[in-house]
Amino acid sequence: MRIILAICCLVFSWQGLAARTTCERGGFERELEVLYDKPHIGGCQLQYSKKDEHPGYKKAIYMALYERGFCQERLLEMQGRLEDWGWICKERSLK
């Protein structure tokens, strides 16, 4: 029983990656990632990182507890802003 509970806890942690976009400009790189806590009810975070300036540091710039699609919409908005500022953005594999 404890093993099943431990597995369930691992499956429903913030590690459920749903989308990743990388943007580059002038040798600099930005990354946007959507992570799901409870994909079946909409819990998510949109994390932003400046991989070249602060390796390993990620900041949650948006978060939702129950609104499905919220973080995906915010990712697209943020990607659009970066592209408006001259960044080249590409969706990355979810391996």
95, two tokens: 């391996």
Query: Is residue 59 scored above 60 in pLDDT?
Result: yes
CB 12 within 8 A of CB 20: no
By residue range, what is the domain housing residue 42? 2-91
Calculate Rg over the CA atoms of the chain.
15
Nearest residue to 33 via CA among 3, 65, 61: 61
DSSP 41-63: TTEEEEEEE-TTTSTT--EEEEE
Decide: helix, strand or coil at residue 87.
coil
pLDDT per residue over 1-48, tens digit each? Answer: 444 333 333 334 445 567 899 999 999 999 999 998 876 677 899 999
Domain count, the chain: 1
The structure's pTM equals 0.74
